[in-house]
Structure 1
Amino acid sequence: MYEKFASEILASQPVPEPRSAEGLRLVFFSGNYNYVRDGANQALNRLVAYMEQQGAEARIYSPTSDTPAFEPAGTLISVPSVSIPGRAEYRIARGLSGRHCREIAEFRPHLFHLSAPDPLGHSAKKLAKSLHTPVVASVHTRFETYFEYYGFGWARPAGEAILRRFYAGLDEVFVTSQGFGDMLREQGLIERAATWSRGVDKTLFNPDRRNLDWRRSLGIADDEVVIGFVGRLVLEKGLDMVAAAANELLRRSIAHRVVVVGEGPARARFEEQMPEAVFTGFLQGEALATAFASVDMLLNPSVTETFGNINIEALASGTPVVAAQASGSMCIIEDGVTGRLVPATDVTGFADALQVYLIDHQARSAAGAAGLEAAKAYDWDRINGAVLARYREIIGADIAKA
């Protein structure tokens, strides 16, 4: 099927080289572009918006919903999908239909960008190769780590084999940090990598958002020290570790409060584990920024993200971070400076790190100030501009070969 569309389109005039972003035609493929809000799809939307602001035209193929979490950037085109058993809020995209293949081929894109190793991504990769069009991918999630959280650890080697096939032969793989790319290469999951970091809106996330009235509305006294957790309430976010660390602090009689910001299918289970915690539900915009600035530290034990936007949102808010030693945090948090990094399964280590900030106001303030300084480096336009520059290099090299 792919070869048929390719031969028909390639028989016509070739795709011209864009002299700038103006006229650049890009096609993106996502497993979740906007139907559920998360850090990965918000980053992809920001990238698409940036490309269009520079004069490019972008089409995005993704499962959609009648009740999306937010308005999409670019032209979003719905693809068939099925819900994931046990996680109905997420969907798995099917492969491209014949109609979609023809539509994409007639669009004559300069570059394909894949963001998930699902059937949609695999079929898009085949179509790109048939059209002799450059194809790149970005690694947003450590999918291979999910198996252990849902009792399928035995399937991880097969999952990693699928990832190797998916990322093999691509013109580029975008990762969130050089260190993360090095790790993936060492594991044999990718062949090459370019860095596409993340930015933070510092007009939204900043220490001035701290609000004692907001804390009081949750029943928190002004002199109480608060541990914040922000994220979707799903097992792979490390909820069990949050509960275990908090319970260890209780065992030590270390005074603290826990505020949980987020919603998700594991909420009821988490509430049972954390009966003393305050659950705010899902927050966004200024309400979310207020939460980041109004807690006294962020606990992020997740090992499944490739970056962890919540880390830089906390730093920009002047809030130190206690996080797992994982790819999504080690590229952001400087241990002992902007926060603490702890082995992912070390309950005692998490409790020790939290205890330092709970009882030492000076240490907490110093880490918050260091985080503010570190957050200055995370500028969205600079970061997305680097991706555009790499796109143009790849497209130019491909046209030079033709």
Structure 2
Amino acid sequence: MRILHILDHALPLQSGYTFRTRAILKAQMQRGWQVAAVSGPRQGAGDHDVETVDGIDFHRTQPGRAWPSPLQELNEIRRFARRIDRAVQAFKPDLLHAHSPVLDALAALRVAKKRGLPLVYEIRAFWEDAAVGNGTGTEGSAVYRATRALETWAVGKADAVAVICDGLRQDLLARGAAGDKIFVSPNGVDLNLFGAPLDFDAPLALSLGLHGKEVIGFIGSFYDYEGLDDLIAAMPALVASRPAAHLVLVGGGPMEAALRAQAAASPVAAHIHFIGRVPHTEVERYYSIVDVLAYPRKRMRLTDLVTPLKPLEAMAQRRLVAASDVGGHRELIRDGDTGTLFAPDDPAALAAALAALLADRGSWAARRAAGRAFVESERNWAVNVARYAPVYQKLIDSRASGDSWHRSPVNA
């Protein structure tokens, strides 16, 4: 079986999007499937038309000149479709697998129709809701409604649709999408890459002044919807009840300057540490020195519908997890078992939940074990990737070939 993945961006860029992509492609390769990918013009200019990164072949799409919207998006779709078509000629796939945003699906649909290939469209978040969450869009605006309509249209045209969580599936069903072509491929962790927790990194803790402290951590991107302002606002109350509590923020993003200013003005500024971005190869060192990973996402459509990846990584690292009680977190966390849930948009509730968790050390071992077991059994990519097999095979078998390309059976 030969699968061509169609991506907004990919390795060597590092993001939650590229890490999920890598996990999917590597797990499929381990099953014996032949895999390649095409990255879109938003990857940026590169030196190579095709390059291999981490054992995966990526066909690159060079960006064109900038145009005002919507001409920019239309031009990107045209350029991307031409590049996908060239990759199809070179790789000769049995199936196309496009990953959101919807521009990727629109480009892939052109090629699928031209080449008579089945298309799986995978939605990780609705583009219009992601724009609202990132502060670049407004819910209910003309652009929001147009993007939503395009998404619904693309779902109707694709042969099968994968979503990362049940929240997205239910939303599509409410739009009238056919339920028999939608399946859930949840976020997971590649335990071969990110599976063995490191021992406590004492030198790192000492260098940050955190040895012997109670460490709350966040590792990820600093977007407004992540609720990091609520986490910083919770720190005075937390430190009042737990004087050894410190907060470590690893990463960066659009809210970084505002968050740093907020932390500097806090009465417990000495308990708040910004690390900045670190190489992905160094992330596990920071997990090793954190007691509790906090995910205080704000309540909005994006966070209610979409499950994040970071809490799963924390569970895989046998870290305690505390998260806001929004829909995306409820699909991952069983309160009091695999993690702790607290009211969203409420710094006082966040501080109280963290203080109670820090005070209850007797439960830590069981919670860490439960979180790790959940990832191993239900969110391990070696297991998750099997969800694609029957969908791929059904689409390939039902499509009259009409050509000489070899279509091999799925490896069980």
Q: Which of the five TM-score ranges fits, normalised by the shorter chain? A: 0.7 to 0.9
CA change 1:161–1:349 in 2 (3 A) is farther
CA distance in 1, matches of 2:189, 2:12: 22
Q: CA deviation digits over 1:295-341, x for unaligned, max 9? A: 01111123647332211111122211111334542222111111122
In structure 2, the gaps of 5 or more residues are: 404-412
CA distance in 1, matches of 2:227, 2:318: 23
The residue number in structure 1 matching 2:408 is none
Out of 15, 38, 47, which is 1:60 matched to? 38
8 A contact 2:10–2:21 mirrored in 1: yes
Q: CA deviation digits over 1:221-266, x for unaligned, max 9? A: 31x2111001022323332232233344356676510001112233
CA distance in 2, matches of 1:261, 1:311: 14
TM-score by length of 2: 0.78
CA distance in 2, matches of 1:254, 1:82: 55
User: Within 5 Å, which residues of 2 pair with 1:1-400?
Assistant: 21=1, 24=2, 26-34=3-11, 36-53=13-30, 54-63=32-41, 64-65=43-44, 71=53, 73-80=56-63, 94-97=76-79, 99-100=82-83, 102-104=85-87, 106-107=89-90, 108-143=92-127, 144-147=129-132, 149-150=134-135, 152-155=138-141, 156-177=144-165, 179-188=166-175, 190-192=177-179, 193-197=182-186, 198-201=188-191, 204-222=194-212, 224-250=213-239, 255-275=244-264, 276=269, 277-302=272-297, 304=302, 306-377=306-377, 378-399=379-400
CA distance in 2, matches of 1:202, 1:52: 14
Residue identity matched to 1:146: A
After TM superposition, which residue ranges in structure 1, 4 or more long, deviate above 6 angstroms?
82-85
Which is further off, 189-198 or 306-315? 189-198
Q: Specify which structure has the higher proportion of helix.
A: 2
CA change 1:234–1:67 in 2 (3 A) is farther
Q: Return the offset for 1:190.
A: 4.8
CA distance in 2, matches of 1:262, 1:389: 38
Q: Return the offset for 1:27.
A: 2.4
Q: Return the offset for 1:393.
A: 2.1
Which is further off, 185-194 or 310-319? 185-194
CA distance in 2, matches of 1:164, 1:248: 45
Which is further off, 99-108 or 345-354? 99-108
Q: Return the offset for 1:52.
A: 4.0
Q: CA deviation digits over 1:316-371, x for unaligned, max 9? A: 22211111334542222111111122343333332222121122222334322321
CA distance in 2, matches of 1:132, 1:321: 46
Alignment size in residue pairs = 371
Percent identical among aligned pairs is 20
Q: CA deviation digits over 1:196-240, x for unaligned, max 9? A: 232232664444432233212111131x21110010223233322
CA change 1:364–1:105 in 2 (3 A) is closer
Residue identity matched to 2:132: F
8 A contact 1:173–1:190 mirrored in 2: no
Which is further off, 226-235 or 155-164? 155-164
In structure 1, the gaps of 5 or more residues are: 1-20, 86-90
8 A contact 1:322–1:354 mirrored in 2: yes
8 A contact 2:23–2:189 mirrored in 1: no
Q: Return the offset for 1:95.
A: 0.9
8 A contact 1:139–1:175 mirrored in 2: yes
CA distance in 2, matches of 1:230, 1:84: 35
SS state at 1:268 partner: helix
CA change 1:125–1:347 in 2 (3 A) is farther
CA distance in 2, matches of 1:51, 1:279: 37
Q: Return the offset for 1:134.
A: 1.1
CA distance in 1, matches of 2:210, 2:107: 52
Q: CA deviation digits over 1:100-155, x for unaligned, max 9? A: 36525535432121112343431222331343321111122343143155262342
